[in-house]
């Protein structure tokens, strides 16, 4: 028998529970709400790159866990993050995606704040004095912020562990790339995908899907023996690649990669390295250029993607242009790979949305080489741990 009837189709795969995922994890509204509060509300999350805040009082607005926040470089050069709402009536404070503001003034009643989050001005304070309300108690809500290798991370949970214990060694294979020389964001775009956030992030974690990309079939899959590949999984759901290679001459127009601009520190032009940070950030380097993408859930079937491309800060124009070309060959809205990944994420969403697809199989075992699904399994193990649910059967009741 090959095709299955309804009952057979609805049955869970005959696999260990760790090797498949219920489609409900993509569609159930209660699971989505729990993800926002128990995962996104409690983990360290990449917010922006410090090059987006080069000067004192530069700020950058972003969304996280359904909330608007802004990171701002203070007069002491430290980056802090605040909820982007006024302490008075809750109005959004900053409306531009980026800018420079030594004083942040709410448009509504002109309350003002400084870059440390202190409330510095309230028009006609006499009315509040009568009520015993003091300005010193009206500062902004500060959000924990740490900068690591130029990456600005934030955490809404004041009780969560520190950034370093959370990340552990997951960024080690990109330490030289991200930290060897100052980098700078030259590309940023955001897209609202009709897909669950995990469907997108799976495209970063699923090595096996390289079969989908003609560029990877021609440049990556034959560049080294599959068994020589090295993948790594870490505590807290993170993962990274070790030794992936590309052979760019395999794809027309890409052969010059590796000869036309110096690689980033500690990496060769043909190296491909990536880090997947739980829950939804991926950092990739193809030798000469870096991409950072972050998924922010907007609903069970809506995801905000932010994509960044980075080169070396202050590099000669011709180097920058070449890195932009390298970035755009694979990534960005016109890249050869990214539109295909987005197509895949939306196609999976369409499959699971109304229950046609029931399970996702993540059962490949290749000893952390080749096209092992171990990264996906590590992700879902952490997802299950944080939500107190089994990814294979997420609506079943089980002990907290």
Partner 1 sequence: MTEAPLEAAGVRQLIGRAGLLLDDGNYDGFLALCAPDFNYRIRVWSPELAKDMIWLEHDYAGLAQLFAALPEHLTRPGRLTRHVTVASVDAAPDALKVTSVVTIHHTDLEGCTSTLAVGRYLDRIVEQDGELRLKSREVQLDTRDLGIGSHAPL
**Which spans of this chain sit near partner 1 (rule: CB under 8 A)?**
52, 60, 96-98, 185-193, 212-214, 251-253, 321, 324-325, 328, 332-336, 338-340, 342-344, 346
Least spacing, CB of residue 13 vs partner 1, in Å: 26
Contact by Cβ (8 Å): 238, 167 = yes
The residue written with tokens 């209660």 in the block is 30
Least spacing, CB of residue 324 vs partner 1, in Å: 6
Distance of CA 305 to the CA centre of its chain: 8
Least spacing, CB of residue 20 vs partner 1, in Å: 25
128 versus 188: smaller Cβ distance to partner 1: 188
Q: Which whole-number Å values give the CA distances from 11 to 89, 121, 254, 297, in the listed order? A: 51, 63, 45, 29
Distance of CA 123 to the CA centre of its chain: 40
- Contacts of residue 189, Cβ cutoff 8 Å, sequence gap at least 6: 306, 307, 332, 333
Least spacing, CB of residue 381 vs partner 1, in Å: 30
Structure token pair of residue 251:
């794809």
Least spacing, CB of residue 343 vs partner 1, in Å: 5
Least spacing, CB of residue 213 vs partner 1, in Å: 8
Least spacing, CB of residue 151 vs partner 1, in Å: 16
| Cis status, amide bond into 151, omega within 30 of 0 | no
163 versus 221: smaller Cβ distance to partner 1: 221
Q: Which whole-number Å values give the CA distances from 136 to 104, 113, 117, 145, 277, in the listed order? A: 16, 11, 11, 22, 37
DSSP string, 319-361: HHHHHHHHHHHHSSTT-SSHHHHHHHHHHHHHHHHTSS--EEE
Distance of CA 124 to the CA centre of its chain: 43
353 versus 358: smaller Cβ distance to partner 1: 353
Contact by Cβ (8 Å): 185, 70 = no
217 versus 358: smaller Cβ distance to partner 1: 217
105 versus 321: smaller Cβ distance to partner 1: 321
**Strand, coil or helix: what is 66?**
coil
């Amino acid at each position: 028998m090959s095709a299955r009837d309804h009952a057979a189709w609805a049955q869970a795969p005959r696999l260990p529970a760790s090797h498949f995922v219920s489609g409900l994890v993509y569609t159930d509204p209660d699971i989505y709400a729990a993800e926002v509060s128990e995962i996104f509300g409690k983990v360290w999350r990449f917010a922006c790159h410090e090059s987006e805040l080069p000067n004192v009082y530069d700020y950058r607005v972003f969304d996280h866990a359904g909330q608007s926040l802004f990171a701002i470089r203070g007069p002491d050069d430290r980056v802090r993050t605040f909820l982007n709402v006024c302490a008075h009536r809750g109005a959004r404070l900053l409306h531009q995606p980026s800018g420079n503001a030594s004083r942040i003034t709410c448009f509504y009643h002109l309350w003002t704040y400084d870059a440390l989050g202190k409330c510095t001005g309230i028009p006609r304070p006499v009315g509040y004095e009568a009520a015993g309300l003091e300005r010193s108690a009206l500062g902004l809500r500060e959000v924990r912020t740490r900068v690591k290798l130029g990456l600005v991370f934030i955490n809404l949970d004041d009780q969560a562990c520190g950034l370093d214990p959370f990340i552990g060694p997951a960024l080690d294979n990109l330490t030289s790339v991200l930290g060897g020389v100052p980098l700078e964001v030259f590309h940023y775009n955001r897209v609202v995908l009709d897909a669950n956030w995990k469907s997108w992030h799976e495209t970063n974690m699923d090595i096996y899907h390289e079969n989908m990309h003609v560029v990877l079939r021609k440049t990556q899959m034959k560049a080294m023996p599959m068994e020589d590949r090295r993948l790594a999984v870490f505590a807290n759901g993170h993962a990274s690649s070790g030794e992936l290679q590309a052979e760019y001459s395999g794809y027309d127009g890409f052969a010059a990669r590796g000869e036309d601009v110096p690689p980033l520190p500690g990496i060769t032009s043909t190296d491909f390295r990536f880090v997947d940070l739980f829950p939804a950030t991926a950092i990739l380097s193809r030798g000469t250029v870096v991409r950072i993408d972050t998924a922010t859930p907007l609903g069970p079937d809506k995801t905000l993607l932010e994509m960044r491309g980075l080169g070396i800060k202050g590099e000669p124009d011709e180097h920058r242009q070449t890195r932009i070309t390298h970035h755009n060959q694979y990534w960005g809205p016109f890249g050869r790979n990214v539109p295909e990944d987005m197509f895949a994420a939306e196609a999976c969403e369409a499959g699971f949305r109304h229950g046609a697809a029931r399970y996702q199989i993540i059962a490949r075992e290749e000893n952390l080489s080749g096209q092992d699904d171990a990264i996906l399994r590590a992700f879902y193990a952490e997802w299950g741990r944080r939500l107190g649910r089994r990814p294979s059967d997420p609506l079943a009741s089980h002990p907290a």
